A and B are shown apart, each in its own frame.
Chain A
Amino acid sequence: VAERSFPLPDLGEGLIDATILEWLVSPGQFVERNAPLVEVETTKSALEIPSPISGVVKELHAEEGQALEVGRPLVTFEVPDNQAGIVGTVPVVEEAERRVRLSLPDE
């Protein structure tokens, strides 16, 4: 089992932080990708943030009522090792392909 952490995402409109209104999941709970994760409030509006992945919630990094800056840790999931491995290697493969293509004309 591996862990993956996610920060509070960029909420647009130049917003730098949000307050946790209500967690819609609990530690130990399995959550599907795109299922409701947490409700937050910014100076502009209330928002519901969906889960970025499917996995078991390991830790919630902010309490209800707490303000959190964009980019700070929001939630950590437990994911199967094989899934973590696939996710981790995707950018490397893309970089390798790009490098191959770029090098072709010179060779």
Chain B
Amino acid sequence: MSDADVSEVRTTDGTNLHVIQVGDPGLPVVLAIHGFASSARANWVVTGWPRALTDAGLRLVAFDLRGHGASAAPRDAAGIGTHARDALEVLDALGIDRAHALGYSLGSRIALEAARLQPARWRSLVLGGVAGTDPTPDRLVTLARDAGVLDGAVRAVALGLGPGGEPPPGPPAGLPALAVVGDADEVAHDAVAWARSRGVPSRTLPGRTHSNAVSARAFKEAAIAVFTGDALGD
């Protein structure tokens, strides 16, 4: 694995976010946004993304969402908008004008919101495992319980993400985007239908589930093709 620089970014509301950077500062940035109840390390680092991205001439910046990993867990409920503003503030703090976004699950939903808030900041969006309907807090709590990761902090994050039940917005017009999902994904089973309804091309990963699609070589290759400007989708 490539060496990672670790730092803290303090947001304007005083929340410390844990940030991991891998790759030459001069290279195009991929801001990676992890999924619910995960972390930058679990979602992106141990799954082999640093090596894949740096080999492709890209720089990885990943952060722990508030309430996750080594980031602070403020008492106030954080909705999608708060997490999206955190993503933008990480770019601000690191002096990054524009970046590609790489999301997984909740991270994809946050990437879509960050793109809605500031479309000009983004070069492209790769939306891994994005559910076609925003999960409700109850659904998120159930998913975390089934995965054996439910605790007070995770429950608080889930409650902040309400109300859910609506399809995520599409990406801003003109922004290259790709949805990637395992064809055995039990959480984002409607990702392809959602992508089609929003005019977003999609790529399916044979045999992959919601939990094991993140490390797939085909996911990395599809994402890198978008980030480096090659063909999109199936």
Interface residues of A (CB under 8 A from B): 21-22, 24, 34-36, 39, 41, 43-48, 50
Contact = CB atoms under 8 A, between A and B. Distances in A.
Contacts, number: 44
Given A21-B215, A22-B217, A39-B216, A45 B51 contact: no
B175 interface: no
Instruction: Say what secondary structure dominates the interface of chain B.
Output: loop
Contacts of B148: 43
Interface stretch (B40-48, B114-122, B150-158): B40-48
Interface string B22-61: 0000000000000000000010001110011000000000
A48 B46 contact: yes
A89 to B, nearest CB: 28
Interface of B: 1, 42, 46-48, 51-52, 148, 211-217
A44 B47 CA distance: 12
23 contacts: A21-B215, A34-B1, A34-B51, A36-B48, A36-B51, A36-B52, A39-B216, A39-B217, A41-B211, A41-B215, A43-B148, A44-B42, A45-B42, A46-B212, A46-B213, A46-B214, A46-B215, A47-B46, A47-B47, A48-B47, A48-B51, A48-B215, A50-B51
A22 to B, nearest CB: 6
A94 to B, nearest CB: 25
A37 B212 CA distance: 16
Contact of B216 (A22, A43, A44, A50): A22
B192 to A, nearest CB: 21
Contacts of B214: 46
Nearest to A40: B215
Contacts of B213: 46
Nearest to A12: B46
B217 A45 contact: no
Given A34-B51, A39-B216, A50-B51, A45 B1 contact: no
A24 B215 contact: no
The 6 closest A-B pairs by CB, nearest first: A48-B48, A46-B215, A46-B212, A41-B212, A39-B215, A47-B46
Contacts of B48: 36, 39, 47-48, 50
A34 B52 CA distance: 12
A37 B234 CA distance: 26
A35 B52 CA distance: 9
Contacts of A44: 42
Contact of A21 (B1, B51, B212): B212
Given A34-B51, A36-B48, A36-B51, A47 B215 contact: yes
A34 B50 CA distance: 12
Contacts of B212: 21, 41, 46
A34 to B, nearest CB: 7
Given A35-B51, A36-B51, A48-B47, 14 more contacts: A22-B216, A34-B1, A34-B51, A36-B52, A36-B217, A39-B216, A41-B212, A43-B148, A45-B47, A46-B213, A47-B47, A47-B48, A48-B48, A48-B51
A24 to B, nearest CB: 6
